[in-house]
Amino acid sequence: MIFKSKYPDIDIPTTGIYQFITSNPNKVPDDKVIFVDGITDKKLTFGEIKRNTKKFAAGLIDKLNFKRGEVLALISPNEVDFPVVLFGTIAAVNEFEYQFSDSNSSIIIVHPFCLSAVKEAAKNLKIPQSRILLFGDKEIDGFQPFNTSLISNNEKEEFKPIEYTFEEAKSTTAYLCYSSGTTGKQKGVETTHTNILSNMAQLLNFETIVDINSKLMGGSSTVILPKFDLSTFCRLIQDHKINYAHIVPPIVLLLVKSPIVKDYDLSSLQMVVSAAAPLSKELCKKFNESTKVSIKQGYGLTETSPIITIGNDNTVVHGELVPNMEAKLISPDGKGYNEPGELYVRGPNVMKGYLNNEERTKASFDKDGFYLTGDVVIVDEQENYFIVDRAKELIKYKGFQVAPAELEAILLNHPAISDAAVIGVEFEEKTTEYPVAYVTLQEGYKKTPQLATEIQEYVGERVAPHKRIRGGVHFIDKVPKSASGKILRKILRENAKIQFSKPQYQNLK
């Protein structure tokens, strides 16, 4: 059964990214501040971004002889000058590559935080030091800031950015982002100019500000935080009167459970969008009750540029398919509504393919051109999409499938638990998997067998028998997560192999 977005198809932009985002349809004045560094208070206006990106592009070409077919890698946490490098590269050439180790990058721009690791990798790849530039304003160990090297002494404000025909925009890779690698080796995802602009246009239907591109188009001011810290995050909302924030589920959890939040005035905040991992209905409700702030869940993948569904109502965890997209669910029983199935999608925002991996690219699309997301979802009669979990993460208990995200949501409701992760562990004699919970505790609670049993029973009272945490509840200091907030289950599985090889774990029931 194929589902089509309930929204009418929209026109897709026919130009390149740089031309589109600087076309300024909203008449943003040049002195409007677009990006603010939340730590240093450094600001970039719309006019400065346009000027600096052109100077940067000219500097790449004139000083570093950067040409079409070459690759620039960008290694950095959130950084106020990030858009200058990003859009300056787009203005200069037709490919932007992110992971230089896989893409054979010839130029690297790196944040000082990452410099030591980059130096070693660059040495192995024989990339000269002169082609490694830094974010910031300081020289470090002979490495020069890109600002002084390519912008400050460059007067070429009239540099003419590359332009694209519609056919070129559809086929030319603009960004090469790498998948998070939570279940295996990272893959370089090639997204074209048209992929990115399609998703921007699709999201305008929801009146939401989603990414770095749309912030420039809309002229909204954005405060950038290089590294998450709850107190700093709350202070910036308070001081800058921020009304819209993008966060991930672990931050939602902190805003609900941490006493620090009460020390700040967050009354300016009107809406948050949570993405990167499933957000439970229970946590969504608690967030709204404790903060009085509306929350939406966005869902997508790097391969879909990125958004597939997003909530269109306040305080919901479901999403609606964005315009110009089709979807279908693949499940053993072939049912449509209200039954879980793996989500396949087709639309103008779906990637070009995986870099240097034609076999993997072909395997990721079916014969009709639908991309296999690897995520299990449920669609109701109103065509709302509810994310269940990753297909690879589902626990196979006898003839049943158990979603870790469902059990984690229940665990997080327990007053003793500050964070939780669930994986499946196979027991050879049982020839099946048991759900196993790893939890971190709130302050004031002790790691005792009695508490572990209490938590195990707490979940058991709230789920069907096949979903019980038969592998037990185990205490850990911290749940391993990626920078985007996804649980790194492969680390837990590796540790579990050692833990559950011990004799005491072989007779669980």
Residue 468 sits in a domain whose CATH number is: 3.30.300.30
**Tokens linked to 86:** 């990003």
* Average pLDDT over every residue of 407-424: 95
pLDDT at 420 (0 to 100): 96
Domain boundary among 136, 163, 190: 163
Residue 83 located in a structural domain: yes
Same domain as 412, residue 269: no
Same domain as 273, residue 153: no
Residue 34 sits in a domain whose CATH number is: 3.40.50.980
Same domain as 411, residue 381: no
Residue 214 sits in a domain whose CATH number is: 3.40.50.12780
Burial class (CB in 10 A: 0-12, 13-18, 19+), 124: exposed
pLDDT over 70 at 156, yes or no: no
Residue 429 located in a structural domain: yes
Same domain as 434, residue 341: no
The answer to whether the CB of 11 falls within 8 A of the CB of 166 is: no
pLDDT over 60 at 184, yes or no: no
Measure the CA–CA gap between 77 and 204, rounded to whole angstroms.
Answer: 27
The answer to whether the CB of 323 falls within 8 A of the CB of 5 is: yes
Same domain as 146, residue 112: yes
Same domain as 153, residue 101: yes
The answer to whether the CB of 298 falls within 8 A of the CB of 319 is: yes
Alpha-carbon distances of 375 from 2, 7, 126, 300, 385, rounded to whole Å: 16, 23, 39, 10, 11
Same domain as 418, residue 381: no
Domain boundary among 163, 187, 218: 163
pLDDT over 90 at 127, yes or no: no
pLDDT at 46 (0 to 100): 94
Residue 44 located in a structural domain: yes
Instruction: For residue 73, give the 3-state DSSP assignment.
Output: strand
Same domain as 327, residue 214: yes
455: left (phi over 0), alpha (psi -120 to 50) or beta: alpha
Q: How many structural domains compose the chain?
A: 3
The answer to whether the CB of 101 falls within 8 A of the CB of 65 is: no
Stated pTM of the model: 0.85
Least confident of 10-24, 97-111, 153-167, 436-450: 97-111
Domain boundary among 163, 190, 223: 163
**Tokens linked to 225:** 């935080």
Measure the CA–CA gap between 329 and 341, rounded to whole angstroms.
Answer: 5
Provide the domain limits for residue 443.
394-505
Least confident of 186-195, 326-335, 336-345, 367-376: 326-335
pLDDT at 288 (0 to 100): 92
Residue 28 located in a structural domain: yes
* Average pLDDT over every residue of 320-324: 95
Instruction: Please give the full DSSP string across 370-423, using - where no structure is assigned.
Output: -EEEEEEEEE-TT--EEEEEEGGG-EEETTEEE-HHHHHHHHTTSTTEEEEEEE
Same domain as 241, residue 157: no
Residue 176 located in a structural domain: no
Residue 95 — very low, low, confident or very high, per pLDDT cuts 50/70/90?
Answer: very low
Instruction: For residue 234, give the 3-state DSSP assignment.
Output: helix
Measure the CA–CA gap between 506 and 509, rounded to whole angstroms.
Answer: 9
Helix 46-64 vs helix 82-92: angle between axes, to the nearest 10 degrees? Answer: 50
Same domain as 415, residue 387: no
Q: Report pLDDT digits (tens) over 469-481.
A: 999 999 999 999 8
Same domain as 318, residue 302: yes
Measure the CA–CA gap between 416 and 180, rounded to whole angstroms.
Answer: 30
* Average pLDDT over every residue of 2-13: 93
The answer to whether the CB of 402 falls within 8 A of the CB of 410 is: no
Same domain as 158, residue 252: no
Residue 202 located in a structural domain: no
Close Cβ partners of 387 (under 8 Å, ≥ 6 residues apart): 278, 297, 299, 319, 375, 376, 377, 405
Residue 124 located in a structural domain: yes
Residue 359 located in a structural domain: no
Measure the CA–CA gap between 373 and 92, rounded to whole angstroms.
Answer: 33
The answer to whether the CB of 479 falls within 8 A of the CB of 440 is: yes
Residue 97 — very low, low, confident or very high, per pLDDT cuts 50/70/90?
Answer: very low
Close Cβ partners of 133 (under 8 Å, ≥ 6 residues apart): 107, 108, 109, 110, 143, 144, 145, 146, 149, 150
